[in-house]
Structure 1
């Protein structure tokens, strides 16, 4: 089967310069790929190699990643800054056919961007493929399936939860393996369940991770003190704060959207980032004894991320939509890298649904 030929483009949209990977004929079945945190459009390259040449694929670098302009992220808008950038691409002449309704694929943070895009532009989304998406109630700081805040200020979320040594090594472009907090070690241990799947692409994927802009306006952002454990809450600037439930809570808007395209949710059963036992959730780390002072299960339970997403998608289906959950055993946070054949099959199935009369 002929594969897509990947080219690079730079466009100005939503007031910033955006770098894109583009593949396939302009009138091909449209697919929009939205990458996650700590990556860029290059993270999709192994997937692009497996896609048929009949697809029209556009994969942007989000602001502050890859080759796109390092514009600030206003966390008070949740993921709206990023979603507005992506939405603006839909109207760039020549990227997609006029009026195209692409299958929007969102990985991790990009899953949240894809949800926001559906809520804001439901007429332009043909289907959603959510890959290990952030919960519709944001990341951390909630206790149950309906997103009830653990504390009034959603303590334990946002930029203050980032590992300072990892941030410093990311800013320095560290490519070493001497510590668990090096970007390469995090790529191997957290992004996938079995790092052997990175063979041949590890340097490309590490480049993608290292392209992340660091600082108060990007990754991780600003933190504010909290009177509640673990002593920090989400600030007003930067990516991790944009993911915090104080600023990103899209569950009700997603269920209420008037146009409900089909949703496929693909996740790895061994994911350690988006999980009911996430190693990036301070509450779960507290339960493990990694973060001291945890006030206990009743006061601060780990966020049930998977259960929340399932509950929201069930509400979405009950309101007239439909969804499919695909849980891949022995797979981590990046199914498109770890289980590419299954992932491609799910993507192509959605393109056929969108193309059907």
Structure 2
């Protein structure tokens, strides 16, 4: 894998599987938990995506980025989707135990946001940073209040994946010759128009590390009598976020409540109230034929659902900071690294080193029972 200056990689053996982690050369393994930051990537990526963040954070912190199962250098063990994202969060717990990290500040991007929410439901954490997270009600197939549209979660899960994209992952296609190549998907889905970087080859390398073995990405599907004709299966990545297996809205009852930073881009094509990865929204646009209408198959209001749940978290005594970055896509930590770093340092309560003197200039909403 392509490692940036000062970033190291090693394998960590746990009772569940062998996990790859990235660390910074010189970080002290004895750093206390309140100065330890753990970074968790999302679907279609790996820890490689965190390297710029790792380089930029103050060096008296300990920073660790973890590859989830089936991504990067971690074992490609099958995923039991009927447990939601618990296979991922249980792996994370065992990895942190092996690293001598009893608790930490957790940062989760996209699906990684779901993983750290599940982790927080099961284990103590110091803070949660949710970057463009999956809705607490999963991906697709729910109304604004989180109720399921069908009993089988039609239009969600493994059947959502584009077969040509999967084929190009298998072929390790690093070109931009088709809109379904990982490089093209990065440009159209991961970042907002106009974003450029000298590290695009590294980000594509990370995407191509996605395992397509049975039980990994994308997962299986089953026939459905409901539109669009398929429903969630029981194994693999995309099925973990089907609403019959996934509901993290119980975070509102968590005690004690760690502070939460929710940071996202207003131009996110993946996590949105009008997501281009939501079959129901694609049906409304006429891209998927025979859409039965908004009464039967409304688009999932992903961002609004997250705001509703975090609003309730606040009403019950939690502290929530919402940071909306205008003109940013799905990867705020790449597209606006200074604002991302600044907001993260604030939520972890970092006072041992001067933080950026100017606050972010975007929308900031602080919700607190106080």
Runs of at least 5 residues in structure 2 that lack an aligned partner in the other structure: 353-370
Alignment of 1:154 with 2:153, yes or no, is yes
Deviations for 1:142-180, whole angstroms, at most 9, x for unmatched residues?
022x20111121111000011010011011100111111
3-state DSSP of counterpart to 2:327 = coil
Runs of at least 5 residues in structure 1 that lack an aligned partner in the other structure: none
Q: CA deviation at 1:190?
A: 0.3
TM-score (ref. length: structure 1): 0.93
Match of 2:286 among 266, 285, 289: 289
Partner of 1:15: 16
Structure 2 distance, partners of 1:308, 1:4, is 39
Contact 1:170 1:183 in 2 (8 A): yes
Contact 1:62 1:82 in 2 (8 A): yes
Contact 2:16 2:94 in 1 (8 A): no
Match of 1:59 among 47, 59, 65: 65
3-state DSSP of counterpart to 1:130 = strand
Alignment of 1:189 with 2:184, yes or no, is no
Structure 2 distance, partners of 1:288, 1:340, is 33
Q: CA deviation at 1:200?
A: 1.1
Contact 2:283 2:290 in 1 (8 A): yes
Structure 2 distance, partners of 1:4, 1:310, is 37
Structure 1 distance, partners of 2:263, 2:168, is 31
Partner of 2:138: 138
3-state DSSP of counterpart to 1:352 = coil
Structure 2 distance, partners of 1:241, 1:33, is 23
3-state DSSP of counterpart to 2:195 = helix
Contact 1:5 1:53 in 2 (8 A): no
Partner of 2:176: 177
3-state DSSP of counterpart to 1:219 = coil
3-state DSSP of counterpart to 2:346 = helix
Q: How do residues 271-350 of structure 1 correspond to structure 2 at under 5 angstroms?
A: 271-350=268-347
Q: CA deviation at 1:353?
A: 6.1
**After TM superposition, what 4+ stretches of structure 1 lie above 4 angstroms from structure 2?**
none
Structure 1 distance, partners of 2:91, 2:65, is 12
3-state DSSP of counterpart to 1:8 = strand
TM-score (ref. length: structure 2): 0.90
The size of the alignment, in residue pairs, is: 344
Partner of 1:214: 212
